[in-house]
């Protein structure tokens, strides 16, 4: 494993290395099994795998969220090291990618970015698209891997490569869950013991929603979920939406369309998201 803090150095090494295909796993660190699964998949598909570890300031609308985001570079590197494959890590400071101008670029993703996460996190996807494009430009991967937990992000990045004609193949990978069903997330580390014990309710509720799909319409299921969480004082539901997997717009009937249910909810002070295939 090699670690680089500047992409120019990484590229010097890369130019000497005859890799036919290069897989990139962009992360913000605090690596968990979900990330490791992406890295393993990338190792299967490519001769060289780059893992970026960078907490991107332009995608946080909340300064506290940015400040509290776990930073665990040492243990992240240990986890990657134990994988033993051909993994190079890129762990820059902001200046290396942003060149003294820590600002998002401006994109138009239409309704894709005004719904769900976009509606609750001002400018979030402009920041995500900015850093992902910068990573693609700096590192020039063949393929990049993203988890389906951040499903809307995946759609935004798919739109980004299409709009900007970026020659990178986007691969999506299924959500990795703890045994009790909680989707793996770096934010789970911020839950206290009591909150962590309650957190599996989120996925259980998503599963119940799926179980109701033959007898209730999506709006009825949405009302049921809203009502359910209204009686759970520890949880603060931001949205629950049964939506088309391409447009992410809410559907009023399933009609054989491809849909998923999406949830964002606060537990204690921690904002968690999840989704499930309908
Ligand atoms: O999903 C994430 O961890 C981040 O949004 C990403 C894609 C690494 C961009 O900062």
Residues across the chain: 278
Is residue 31 a contact partner of residue 80, using CB atoms and an 8 Å limit? yes
Query: How many CA atoms lie within 13 Å of 166's alpha carbon, on the beta-carbon side?
Result: 25
Residue 62 has pLDDT above 90, yes or no: no
CA of 211 to the centre of ligand 1 (A): 31
DSSP output for 45-106: H-SEEEEEE---GGG-S-HHHHHHS---HHHHHHHHHHH-SSEEEE---HHHHHTT------
Q: What is the pLDDT of residue 119?
A: 95
| Average of per-residue pLDDT across 205-226 | 97
Q: Which of 32, 35, 124, 178 is catalytic?
A: 35
CA of 27 to the centre of ligand 1 (A): 5
Residue 257 has pLDDT above 80, yes or no: no
**C-alpha distances in angstroms, 13 versus 48, 203, 254?**
12, 43, 51
Q: What is the pLDDT of residue 52?
A: 98
The confidence band for 68, taking pLDDT boundaries of 50, 70 and 90, is: confident
The confidence band for 69, taking pLDDT boundaries of 50, 70 and 90, is: confident
Closest of 31, 27, 71 to residue 53, by C-alpha:
27
3-61 pLDDT per residue, tens? 999 999 999 999 998 899 999 999 999 999 999 999 999 999 999 999 999 999 999 98
For residue 157, the ligand 1 atom closest to its alpha carbon is 7
Question: For a substitution probing ligand 1, which of 25, 27, 29, 55 has the most ligand atoms within 8 Å of its CB?
Answer: 27
| Average of per-residue pLDDT across 130-144 | 98
Counting residues of the chain whose pLDDT is more than 90, the rounded percentage is: 92
Residue 99 has pLDDT above 80, yes or no: yes
Clarify whether 124 is annotated catalytic. Answer: no
As a whole number of angstroms, the distance between CA 232 and CA 246 comes to 31
Q: What is the pLDDT of residue 213?
A: 94
Residue in the structure block whose two tokens are 């970015």? 113
Q: What is the pLDDT of residue 221?
A: 98
102-136 pLDDT per residue, tens? 999 999 999 999 999 999 999 999 999 999 999 99
Structure tokens belonging to residue 162: 């299409």
Residue 225 has pLDDT above 80, yes or no: yes
Residue nearest to atom 2 of ligand 1 (CA): 27
Q: What is the pLDDT of residue 44?
A: 97
Q: In the chain, what are the domains?
A: 2-173 (3.40.50.620), 186-273 (3.30.1300.10)
Q: What is the pLDDT of residue 169?
A: 98
Q: What is the pLDDT of residue 256?
A: 75
DSSP output for 51-66: EEE---GGG-S-HHHH
Q: What is the pLDDT of residue 248?
A: 96
169-203 pLDDT per residue, tens? 999 999 999 999 999 998 998 999 999 999 999 99
Phi first, then psi: what are they for 229, rounded to 5°? -75, -20
Residues lining ligand 1, judged by CB closer than 6 Å? 26-28, 56, 59, 128, 131-132, 150, 153
| Average of per-residue pLDDT across 195-214 | 97
Residue 245 has pLDDT above 80, yes or no: yes
């Amino acid at each position: 494993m090699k670690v680089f803090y500047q992409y120019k150095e990484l590229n010097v090494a890369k130019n000497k290395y005859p890799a036919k295909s290069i897989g990139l796993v962009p992360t913000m660190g605090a690596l968990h099994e979900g990330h490791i699964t992406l890295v393993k998949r990338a190792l299967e598909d490519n001769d060289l795998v780059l893992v970026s570890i960078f907490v991107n300031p332009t995608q946080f609308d909340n300064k506290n969220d940015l400040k509290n985001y776990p930073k665990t570079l040492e243990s992240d590197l240990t986890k990657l090291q134990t994988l033993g494959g051909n993994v190079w890590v890129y762990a820059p400071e902001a200046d290396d990618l942003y060149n003294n101008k820590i600002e998002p670029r401006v994109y138009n993703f239409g309704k894709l970015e005004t719904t769900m996460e976009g509606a609750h996190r001002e400018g979030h996807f402009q920041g995500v698209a900015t850093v992902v494009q910068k990573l693609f430009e700096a590192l020039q991967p063949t393929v990049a891997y993203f988890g389906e937990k951040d499903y809307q992000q995946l759609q935004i990045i798919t739109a980004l490569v299409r709009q900007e004609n970026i020659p990178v193949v986007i691969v999506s990978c299924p959500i990795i869950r703890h045994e009790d069903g909680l989707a793996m997330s770096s934010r789970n580390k911020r839950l206290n013991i009591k909150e962590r014990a309650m957190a599996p309710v989120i996925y259980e509720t998503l599963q119940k929603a799926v179980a109701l799909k033959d007898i209730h319409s999506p709006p009825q299921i949405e009302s049921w979920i809203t009502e359910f969480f209204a009686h759970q004082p520890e949880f603060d539901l931001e949205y629950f939406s049964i939506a088309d997997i391409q447009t992410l717009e809410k559907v009023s009937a399933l009609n054989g369309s491809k849909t998923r249910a999406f949830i964002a909810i606060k537990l204690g002070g921690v904002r968690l998201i999840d989704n499930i295939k309908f």
